[in-house]
Structure 1
Amino acid sequence: MNNWIIKIAFCQIFLFAMISQGSLVAQSNAKWKVNDVLQPPSALHLEGYVADRLNGSLENRILVQNINDLIKPFKLEHRTETTFWQSEFWGKWFTSAILAYKYHPDAGLKQLLDEAATGLLATQAADGYIGNYAQANHLQQWDIWGRKYCMLGLLAYYDLSRDKKMLIGAIRIADHLISELNAQGGIIVTKGNYKGMAASSVLEPICLLYSYTNDVKYLDFAKEIVRQWERSDGPQLLSKSIIKVSERFPKPKNWYSAEQGQKAYEMMSCYEGLLELYRLTGNDAYKQVVVNSWENIRNTEINIAGSGASTEMWFGGKEVQAFPIHHYQETCVSVTWLKLNNQLLRLTGESRYADEAERTYYNAILGSMSANGAAWAKYTPLNGQRLPGSGQCGMDLNCCEASGPRGLFNFPFHIVMGRREGLQINFFVQGTYQLESPLGQRLKVIQSTDYPKSGSINVELDMDKPEAFEIGIRIPEWSKVNKLTVNGGDVVDVKNGELIRIKRIWKREDKISLELDMRGRLIESGNGVRSFAIMRGPIVLARDSRFEGVGLEAILEPVTDQQGYVPLKELPGNPTEYFMRFEAGFIPESYTETPAGPVTISLCDYASAGNGHNNSFYKVWMPQLINPKSNGSFHP
C-alpha cells in the first residue's frame, strides 16, 4: 500500500514537472504532429437493426426540431441569463444533425442546417459574442460551455460546406472569449462550476480552430488552458490522471458547484480536447494522461451496460452497480464515454476501445432512446423504469435529449475504417462501406449479418483490380470460441480481444466469414453481495414485467451447462416491442425442504426492456440467496 502511494506521488510530481518546464509543449507550429491510425469511410449505407434506430432518430427527433426555439435564447432581447445552459442546445442538436446528414444526405435536413447556422450567426454581436448571458454575467456558470457548443457546430458545418462565414463566425467567438478572459485576468478554471472543467472543455474547438487557421494564438490558448488545469483551484486533470476519478477531490459541501471535481461528462469532454491537442503537438504525455484516465474510468466506474455516474458524478460505481442508485447513468455521460472510446479507437486502432464502445452503444445508448427515436431518457437505471427526461432551462428540451443523437450517429463512421495498411473492421453491422485502398482504388466492403442476433458475419469485397493489403478484424474480448475463414480456408490463431490481421492479395468477391461465440454468459457483481446478470454477445439481457408471470423480485438461480454458460432459446421477434427475446431456465427461491424444479423465464435485450408501448419494470441484476453451504458457488 505504501509503495503504491509513493508511486502515485512520484508520477504526480513527474507530470507536473514536465508541464511546468514546458517539456510537454511542442515548439513547431505545424498543424498536425500525429495522424489518426484509422480514417472514416467516404460513404456508407446500413441496413437492419442499427439502421432502423438511426432512421427513427433522424425522422422523429432531428428533423422535427423547431430551429427557432434553439436560436431564440441567443437573440439580443433574451440575453439576460445568469445561471442556466440554454446555449448548449443549439450546438448539441446541430452537431447531431451534421453527423446524421453525413450518414444520410437529405435535402430537408440540409435546409434545416442552413437555417440553423444562418440563424445563429445572425445573433452574433459586433464584438463576436454569441450567447445568452447578460453582459455583467459573461464567463460565469455555463456561458463559456455554451460558446464551446456554438463553435463546435459552426466548425462542423465549415468542415461539411467550406462556407467561410462559418469559420469566421467561430473565429470571432474565440477571439472575443480570449479578449474577455484576458480583461479579467486570463484565468479560465475559475469560471463556472466543476473546477473549471465545463469552461475549459472549450479546449476542443480551440484546437480544431488552430487546425483550420494555423493561427498560433489558438494553439497558445489551448496550451494555457491545459497549464491552468494544474492550478490548486483547477481540476488537475494531468497530475491526477492515475488517481481514481471518484477520489481526486474531497466530497464537496455543495454538490453542483465550483468545488465539485468529479463531474463525469465535463471531465471526459476535457480529455476529448486533450486528445486534439495531442494530435497538434505530438506530446505523448497528453495521450498517456487520457489513457490513464480511460483505464481508471473503465475499471472503477463503467457498469455492465457501458456507462455510469450517479447524479452526474463519478462515485466508484462499478462495484455497487447491482444496488439501486440515484439518478444513474446519465445519457450525456453515456454519449461522451462512447465518443471518447471512438476518439481513442481512430487515434490508435486498438480493439479494446471498440470493445467498450460496442457495449455502450448497444446497451446504454440504444437503451436511453425511446423505441421510435423521438425521446431520450435523462437517467437509465439497470433495475427500474425508463422514463423520458423533462424540459430544462424553460425550454421543451433537456441536455440528454439534445445530446443522445450525437452518440447515436457517431457510431456508424467507426464500423469499417480505412488505415494505411488497408482497412479495419471494428464492428459488425449489415451494410456497405466505401473506402479507398492503399493504392488509391475504389474499395467497397459489404457486410452481411444480423449481428448481434447471431454471431455470423460475412464480408465480401468489391474492387476493380487485385491488390495486396491488410484487413484487420476485431475479435471481441467476450468471444471465447471463434472461427474465421477466407474463401473457406481457416485463419489460424484467432484470439479473443485482439485485432486479427490478414495480409494477402485481395480481389473482387473475396469472402471473409466469422463466427463469434454467442453463448449466454453469467456476469457476477463485485460488491460482496451475490448478484448476477446475463450477457449474450455485447448485449445485456433483462427480465421485464411484460413477459413474466412471476414477480421481478422473485429470486432465481440460473440453470447453466457444464461449462458454466446459460442455455438460451431464442423466441420469435416482435419489432414493435423488443429486438430480441430468449427463454432460459432458472431455479426459483424455495422455503420448503425440497427445492422446486426449474422454471422458464423470458429475457430481452436491455435496450428493449421497459421500452415498449407501456412503461414496464425491468431488472438486469438478480440477487442470489445467501447460503453458507454454497462455498462461493451460484449453486447451493
Structure 2
Amino acid sequence: MKKYTSLLLAGFVFIGGITVAQDKLSRAKSEIIGGFIGERLSNSYKNRILLQDADELIEPFKHRNETSLWQSEFWGKWFTSAVLAYKYQPTPELKQKLNAAVSGLIATQSADGYIGNYTKESRLKQWDIWGRKYCMLGLLDYYSLTGDKKSLKAAREVADNLMDDIKKADGIIVTKGNYRGMAASSVLEPICLLYTQTNDKKYLDFAEEIVRQWETAEGPHLISKADIDVARRFPKPENWYSFEQGQKAYEMMSCYEGLLELYRLTGKPAYNTAVEKTWQNIRDKEINNAGSGASAEMWFGGKTLQADPIFHYQETCVTVTWIKLCHQLFRLTGEAKYADAVEQSYYNALLGSTSHDGFHWAKYTPLSGLRLPGSGQCGMNLNCCVASGPRGLFNLPAHMVMKAADGLFINYFTEGNYLLTTPSGKNVSIAQHTDYPATGKVGITIKLLKPEDFNINIRIPKWSSKNVLTVNGVAVKEVISGQFASIKRNWKDGDEIALELDMRGRVEFIGDKPQYAAVMRGPVLLARDEALNGLSLGTIVNLAGKAGYVDLEAVPHSPESTWLQFRLKFSPESYKEQGDEPITVDLCDYASAGNGKKATYFQTWFPQLIDPKKGH
C-alpha cells in the first residue's frame, strides 16, 4: 500500500497491471484571451485556419503518383492546427470545415487501409510514413474532439496497413525514409495515441518495437545518445539532407514527443529521462535568445554562434515543435523551466515568423537581417511552415491557466478569463487584467461560489529578479525567480492577486573578440529596425548600462508598425578628448522588426568596441 501511495504522489497509477505516468497538469474548461495575443489568435483563426482550402490539401491523396515529396503532411498539419483553434474558439463555421476535411480525406482511403499519395512501388520510401503519421494525428484529433467512430476506424486502418507494409518488407522501420529513420519512426506518437483510444495491445507492442529499433546499428540512438550533444550524435554526412543525417531538429523532437506518449503508457523511467536530458541539451547548446534554433534544419551547436550570420536560421517547424515538446514536459512535470522556454519562443521566434494578419508564415527567421518570404513546396501553394505555424500559435491557450490535483497553475499572463474546476469539482473563474509584457503588472481576480482551500501556483519567470506578489494587498513571502509561487489558502469570491515583475532592460553579452550585446525586456528580445527613429548603430557603439541593466523609455507608436517600442541611449565611438554625449535610438520587439509591409533591415546583436583598456 505504501508503494502504491508513493506512486500516486509521483504521478503514476496502475491500470491493468501496468504502471502509467499521468500528467500533473490538465487543461481549463475554457479560455477567452484578449490583448495582443488574443488579437494574433483571432487573426490566424480568420485568415489562415478558416481561409485554407482543405480540398487543395486532400487533392494529392486522390492521385497517388508521388515518389519522393511530402504533400501528405500538409493536411494533417493544418487539420491539427484547426482542431486546436476550434477547442479554443468553437464556431459552427470551423466545425463544418473540420467535418468536410475529415470526410474528404477518408474518402481517399483504399481497401487495404492506405491513406497517402505515394505510388504502390514507392510506399514506405522517403516521406510516405511521415505523411501517414500526420493523417493519423488529424483523424485521432477529430475522434477525440467529436467521438466520431468513422475517424477512429480510419486511423486504425491506416496504422494496420502501415504495420502490414513494414512486416511484408523486412520488419524494420528505422531504415525507411530519411534522417536515420527519425522521420518514419516519429509515427510513434499517433501509434501510442491509438493505443490510448483502443486499448489494442498490438499498437503498444508496435510502439515498443519502434523504440527497440532506435537502438540498433541503423537507428537514431535517441535513448542511448541522450547524454551526447544533439549536434554531435553522428558524423557530418556527405549529403546534408540524407538518411545519414542524424541531427535533424524537427524530426528528432517529433520522435521525443512520441517517446513521452509511450512513457505515459508504460511509466518506464528511461523514456522520460532520455527526453529530459535531450531537452536540457537543446536548451543549453542550441536555443538562442529568440527561443529557437537550428541551421538548414539541423542542430549545430548554435547558441554560441547566434550573433553571427547563420544560413537558413530558425525554421518555423523547429520553433513549433520545440514549443510542443516543452509543453509535453510541462504537462507531465509542472516545472517552470519548460513554461519559461515556451514564453521566450512564443513571443519572439514564433510571433516573429508570422505576419500580423496571421496569413503568412516564414520558412526561416534570422536574428539580424531581412525577413524574406518562403516559397511553395511540392507543387502546392504552401510549405511545411505555413501549414505548421498555427500549431504553435494555438498550442498556447490550452496551457495558459491549468488545473492540478491540489489546485490551479497560472502559467502565462494575458488579458483574459479562464474557467476551471477546484479540487472539489466546483467551478472557479480566473480573470487576468494586464497589458503584459508591455508592463510587468498583472492583476488576477478569483471568482467562485463558495470558499474553498486549495493552491494557486503562479509562475515567476527566471529572468525577473525583482518580484512583488500580493493577495488582497498582503505580500507573499518566498517568491523565487524561475519557480512557481505556491499560495495555499481558503480562497473566497473576489480575492485579488497582484503580481509585479521586473521589466528593466537586460543586457546579454556573447563572444570574446568581438563581443556582441543584445537587449531583452521581460521575455521579449528587442531589435533595431532601420525604419525606426535614430541613427544606424553600425559597429561602433557600446551599451550604456550598469550591472547588466539599461533604462528603456516606452515610445508612443503606431500599432500598425510595431507592437512594443522603446527608446534607449547608447554611447557612441568618439575621437574627442571628452567624448560625445550618448545618442538615442528606438528599439522594438523582435517579432515586429522588419515585419511590416515593406521588408527593412533589423539587428538584435550589436558588436561592441574592442577596448584594450578593458582587457579586450
- 2:365 and 2:579 map into 1 onto residues whose CA distance is 35
| Correspondence for 2:31 | 44
- 2:181 pairs, out of 162, 178, 196, with 196
Query: 1:482 deviation in Å?
Result: 0.4
> What amino acid sits opposite 1:169 in the alignment?
A
How far apart, in 2, do the equivalents of 1:165 and 1:573 lie? 52
Q: Corresponding residue for 1:355?
A: 340
Matched, 1:506 2:478: no
- Structure 1, residues 101-135: CA drift from partner, whole Å, max 9, x if none? 11111111111111101000000000000000000
TM-superposition CA deviations, 1:449-502 (whole Å, max 9, x none): 100000000111111100000011110000000000000001012111111111
Which of 537, 559, 563 aligns to 2:544? It is 559
For 1:623, the aligned partner's letter is: P
Name the aligned partner's letter for residue 150 of structure 2: K
1:35 and 2:22 aligned: yes
Question: Which ranges in structure 2 are unaligned for 5 or more consecutive residues?
Answer: 1-12
Inter-CA distance 416–396: structure 2 relative to 1 (3 Å threshold): same
Whole-Å Cα distance in 2 between the matches of residues 361 and 454 of structure 1?
17
SS state at 1:384 partner: coil
Change (3 A) 1:127 1:32: farther
User: Shift in Å at residue 429 of structure 1?
Assistant: 1.0
- Find the counterpart in structure 1 of residue 121 from structure 2: 136
* 1:54 and 2:41 aligned: yes
Q: 2:315 aligns with which of 306, 314, 330?
A: 330
- 557, 562, 565: which is aligned to 1:581? 565
The letter of the residue matching 1:615 is A
**Judging changes above 3 Å, is the alpha-carbon distance between structure 1 residues 376 and 32 closer, same or farther for their aligned structure 2 residues?**
farther
Q: Secondary structure at the match of 2:549?
A: coil
Amino acid at match of 2:50: L
Residue 205 of structure 1 aligns with an amino acid whose one-letter code is: P
* Segment drifting more, 518-527 vs 45-54: 518-527
1:601 aligns with 2:585: yes
Check whether the contact 1:31–1:214 (CA below 8 A) recurs between aligned residues. no
What residue is the counterpart of 1:296 in the other structure? 281
Two-structure CA RMSD over aligned residues (Å): 1.3
Tell me how many residue pairs correspond in the alignment.
Answer: 604
CA distance in 2, matches of 1:44, 1:490: 28
Q: Judge conservation of contact 1:552–1:619 (CA < 8 Å) in 2.
A: no
| Conserved 8 A contact 1:31-1:211 | no
Aligned to 1:150: 135
Q: TM-score, normalised by structure 2?
A: 0.96
Report SS of the residue matched to 2:180. Answer: helix
Among 154, 157, 161, the alignment partner of 1:172 is 157
Q: Which residue number in structure 2 is paired with residue 568 of structure 1? A: 552
Q: State the Cα distance separating 1:593 from its structure 2 match.
A: 4.9
Shifted more, 384-393 versus 467-476: the winner is 384-393
- Any conservation in 2 of the 1:552–1:618 contact (CA below 8 Å)? no
Change (3 A) 1:27 1:189: farther
Structure-2 residue corresponding to 1:610: 594
The answer to whether the 8 A contact 1:542-1:618 is kept is yes
Deviation (angstroms), 1:537: 0.2
**Is residue 455 of structure 1 aligned with residue 440 of structure 2?**
yes
Question: SS of 1:521's equivalent?
Answer: strand
Matches within 5 A, 1:372-383: 372-383=357-368
What is the TM-score of this pair, normalised by structure 1? Answer: 0.93
User: What amino acid is the match of 2:28?
Assistant: P
CA distance in 1: counterparts of 2:511 and 2:485, whole angstroms: 31
Match of 1:13 in 2: none
User: What is residue 11 of structure 1 aligned with on the other side?
Assistant: none
Does the alignment pair 1:258 with 2:249? no
Q: Secondary structure at the match of 2:503?
A: coil
Matches within 5 A, 1:112-131: 112-131=97-116
**Contact preservation (8 Å) 1:554, 1:588:** no
How far apart in 2 are the matches of 1:547 and 1:391?
A: 32
* Partner SS for 2:176: coil
Matches within 5 A, 1:454-533: 454-526=439-511, 529-533=514-518
Task: Determine if contact 1:486/1:511 at 8 Å carries over to the other structure.
Answer: yes
What SS class does the counterpart of residue 195 from structure 1 fall into?
Answer: coil
List aligned pairs for 1:104-115, cutoff 5 A: 104-115=89-100
Q: Against the structure 1 CA distance between its residues 236 and 528, is the aligned structure 2 distance closer, same or farther, given a 3 Å change threshold?
A: farther
Partner of residue 627, structure 1: 611
Structure 1 SS opposite 2:493: coil
Query: Greater shift after overlay, 456-465 or 546-555?
Result: 546-555
The reply to whether residue 79 of structure 1 matches residue 77 of structure 2 is no
SS of alignment partner, residue 155 of structure 1: helix
Q: What SS is found at the alignment partner of 1:191?
A: coil
* Secondary structure of the structure 2 residue equivalent to 1:168: helix
In structure 2, distance between residues paired with 1:597 and 1:546: 23
Q: Aligned to 1:240, which of 222, 225, 241?
A: 225
